[in-house]
Amino acid sequence: MKKNKVSKYVRLLFNFRKKPYILFRNLLGFYPLDIELYQLAMLNKSNFAKDKDGRLINNERLEFLGDAVLETAVTDILYHRFPNKKEGFLTILRSRIVQRKMLNKLGMQIGLNRLAKSAGLSKPFNIYGNTLEALIGAIYLDRGYKYAHLFVNSILKKHVNLGKISNEEANYKVKLQEWAQKNKMSFRYELFEDENPKSNHFVVELYIEDVLAGVGTALSKKEAQQLAAETAYRKLTPNNPLMKEIRAKKTPSQPEQEQEEIVLEETND
């Protein structure tokens, strides 16, 4: 193991002036030890490569790993950044940071688009979040959790206003209600029974037209409903698979007055 580490440093000393090392050094703030991990992180499934055995490879495994490392790092950062906040607040704030739209934006802001272009790859905006997660996975494998945490923390400090996000009064239960009324959709919240008798968490499932659209877990029923509503609301885009399933199962329209009464009843608990 020690010999392997030494060989990595020797390879680094001989190669650090090559373009890939400079590009990643500018992005990360440190030189990669295993450059191939970072190059692999830039390859999504439509821009795959071949390994030495001729097998097709892409960044999906690194993305899977990076997703878990990112959530852990963000949880750690928020826990220490807001020492007096409850779990529900931290959970909602974390979900806003790690949502796909935010990660896509951060990927662009740190220059993943430029790095991809320099590597001869063309990436649409909506996959830069995946690339960012894969990059974090590469950092974790190459340098360990400490470097991955420092990288995530530096991104949040430079590009995310945690104070502003934490003060946003985004009531997703109300937003979902307005959407349902406008689109004549029915929805309901169901309290899911936790199998652990010692658990003090509430688990709420949100159904739109009898389709499971979101799940929320928190220390109060209200916060759990809010999380479930936020999860569902963010999926309510025309091309999302959830919308196709909801449309397929949409029940016959009810009289307008009755529909309004049901919607209002759902949000008063």
Question: What six digits make up the tokens of 154?
Answer: 């530096």
Phi/psi of residue 112, each to 5°? -65, -30
Catalytic residue among 53, 60, 133, 190: 133
Catalytic residue flag (residue 67): yes
Catalytic residue among 63, 67, 230, 266: 67
Catalytic residue flag (residue 142): no
Residues carrying an active site annotation: 67, 133
